[in-house]
Amino acid sequence: MKNRGVKIESVIYESPAYKAGIKPGDRILSINSHAVRDALDLMFYGDGEILKFVIDRNGEEIRLKIKKNGEPLGIQLPFKIKRCRNRCLFCFVDQLPKGLRKSLYVKDEDYRASFLYGNYITLTNLTKKDYERIEKLRLSPLYVSVHATDPEIRNRLLGNYDAPPILSELKKLAKIKIKIHTQVVVCPEINDGEVLEKTISELYKLYPYVASVAVVPVGLTKYHKNGLKPVTKDRAEEIIKIVEVFQKRFRKKSGFTFVYLSDELYLKAEKEFPSLRVYDDFPQIENGVGMTPLFMHRAMKLQIPSLKLKKRFITFTGISFYQYLARFMERFKKRNIPIDCYPLKNNLFGETITVTGLLTGEDITKGLVQYTEPGDILLIPDVTMKDSENKFIDDLTIKDIEKILNVKALKIGTEPESLLKALKYED
């Protein structure tokens, strides 16, 4: 009896659930006669205005009626993630050093997290019941790591030779009309060249259910041990050339680009970004596809007012984005606005990792200590912190940064408008 339903972790004070008498520790058995097993069921079945709950409280079954009155329900449930059993040759978790916070070492392979948060899954652990639930709850879109449609090559990359053929799994989702965004992590001499061409061609056959393909270069830290080769400038140029042929073909045929190149490939190849229209509605911007050109487009259109600031502002970025952020900063300097930006190296993962989001608290403090002065205001991109506790990868916090550098630190979004808004901050 104790394991029936799902146990409530917390109830927000003065929320509809709180006012109805629901308490932490209660177990939700059903909502409007629908059985509840996790947070996903709570989200779907708890979406109505009037909800009939059946809960278990210390073995006693209690029925409650909740009127939401347009407010959030106020119930927090635990989310036990389904773990990944693959041993991908390029798995970033396996490339982490020891000693970081435990949550970073969790390998997830959970279709629920794919729907809720855009996490990429490989479709290697779905059961018949999982597919039935995906269809029943209309969990669309899902995000899928394909890497190669050739089963032998894909299974080699996944380190899982029992993985089902990806095309058959994608066809199951297409049959129940689930939209899918896919990605190909390119590993030189394994799934580039003709293999990449075949993968893109076969995925397009499942369009429009397979709605997009993102082509991204493999990311290798200094802890990588599987002997993979990085994507060099020449290799990036080859990949771009292959994909651009498909882009032109697909736009001519369907008016839609379908396959997109990550910003990092253009940066590695030292090539200009294409027109924004190539990115359509930016279906994979969170995967680093179109983020840089969109930022620059919005930055150039942004009206920068004259600001009389008493304090100096400082911000930073990874090596790869620095040239673009610095270009944006020049517009502020022309207005005599005191702000400087600095490129920071990644000391934890190695200099091959050049994105902002993987900079650590120690990278920030060591990289900026020679530039900051007491009283400066430091603008920290929110992509460097992955949780609500304002912690960096190495567990340093914003308060630690403030103490070490003797500055005031503000977390900002990655949009140019967020940076301008932060400049109006009054201490």
Question: Do residue 41 and residue 132 come from a single domain?
Answer: no
142-145/120-121 β-pairing: parallel
**Is 85 within the bounds of a domain?**
no
Question: Do residue 343 and residue 196 come from a single domain?
Answer: no
For residue 1, name the pLDDT band (cuts at 50, 70, 90): very low
Q: Is 114 buried (19+), middle (13-18) or exposed (0-12) by CB count in 10 A?
A: buried
**103-152 pLDDT tens trace:** 788 889 999 999 999 999 999 999 999 999 999 999 999 999 999 999 99
DSSP state of 391: B
CATH number at residue 218: 3.20.20
Question: Do residue 334 and residue 265 come from a single domain?
Answer: no
Q: Report the share of the chain in percent with pLDDT over 70.
A: 98
Average pLDDT of the residues in 202-216: 97
Integer angstrom CA distances of residue 373 from 311, 313, 316: 10, 10, 15
Provide the angle, in degrees to the nearest 10, between the axes of the packed helices 361-368 and 398-405. 20
Structural domain boundaries, residue 34: 6-76
**304-360 pLDDT tens trace:** 888 888 889 999 999 999 999 999 999 998 888 889 999 999 999 998 899 999 999
Domain end call among 295, 325, 360:
295
Question: Do residue 257 and residue 331 come from a single domain?
Answer: no
Predicted confidence at residue 237, as pLDDT, reads: 98
C-beta separation of 172 from 111 below 8 A: no
**267-285 pLDDT tens trace:** 999 999 999 999 999 999 9
Predicted confidence at residue 427, as pLDDT, reads: 42
Average pLDDT of the residues in 393-417: 92
Predicted confidence at residue 71, as pLDDT, reads: 92
Question: Do residue 157 and residue 259 come from a single domain?
Answer: yes
**2-41 pLDDT tens trace:** 568 899 999 999 999 999 999 999 999 999 999 999 999 9
**46-70 pLDDT tens trace:** 988 999 999 999 989 999 999 998 8
For residue 387, name the pLDDT band (cuts at 50, 70, 90): low
**Is 227 within the bounds of a domain?**
yes
Instruction: Judge whether residue 391 has pLDDT over 90.
Output: no
Predicted confidence at residue 3, as pLDDT, reads: 65
User: What is the overall mean pLDDT for the chain?
Assistant: 93
Total number of domains in the chain = 3
